Amino acid sequence: MIKKLLGQYRELIVYFITGVLTTLVNWAVYALCVEMIGWSVAVSNAVAWIVAVIFAYITNKLWVFRSFNWDVGFVLREAFLFVSARILTGIFEIVSVPLLVRIGLGQSFFGVKGMWAKILVSVVVMILNYVFSKLIVFRKSDSRNSDSLKSGSLKTDHQNQR
């Protein structure tokens, strides 16, 4: 029963795990920038977002949506769509965290100024990112990898066509 549920919800479970890891990367970079380097909340948030997007693309491509097509054109299109979607949610995050801090959610958590605002915005961003990735970036019709996954093969589409 548990195995069936894990199989049925594998993508969501793995997305949640990698999303939590991405969020932790984001928070760690944010905290490092604010506390160790002394940058402003806005600059620290922007840097944390960039690092997190790079981490998220790699983990989403390989582990969540199992996109193993490495043709240059395919990867460029996929990466462009991924980054574009993340820019939309990134703008939301970059604007929202300082805004929430300014309107009263700037309390420290774990000793980091504005962390409550960061946590709240991160939850919303995580949900939006899944929707964009699932419906736009890593659509099954684009990845064409389901046959190689079922057989356990990690070959690229080019290798599968031979």
d(CA 78, CA 67): 9
For residue 96, give Cα distances in angstroms to 99, 103, 118: 5, 10, 9
Instruction: Read off the pLDDT of each residue in 24-38 and give the average, rounded to a whole number.
Output: 95
**What share of the chain in percent tops pLDDT 70?**
86
Which tokens in the block code for residue 87? 């820019």
Q: Which comes out higher in pLDDT, residue 147 or 13? A: 13
**46-94 confidence digits (pLDDT tens):** 899 899 988 999 999 999 999 889 899 998 999 999 999 999 998 998 8
pTM above 0.75, yes or no: no
How many Cβ atoms are within 10 Å of 101's Cβ, its own excluded?
20
Q: Which comes out higher in pLDDT, residue 13 or 126? A: 13
Beta carbons within 8 Å of 20's beta carbon, 6+ residues apart: none
Q: Quick one: pLDDT at residue 3?
A: 84
**39-50 confidence digits (pLDDT tens):** 999 999 889 989
φ/ψ of residue 89, rounded to 5: -75, -25
**Does the pLDDT at position 158 exceed 60?**
no
> Kind and range of the H or E element at 115?
helix 115-132
**Does the pLDDT at position 159 exceed 60?**
no
Q: What is the mean pLDDT of the chain?
A: 84
**103-138 confidence digits (pLDDT tens):** 998 888 888 889 999 899 988 988 899 999 999 999
The ranges assigned to domains in the chain are 8-142
**Does the pLDDT at position 161 exceed 60?**
no
d(CA 157, CA 70): 8
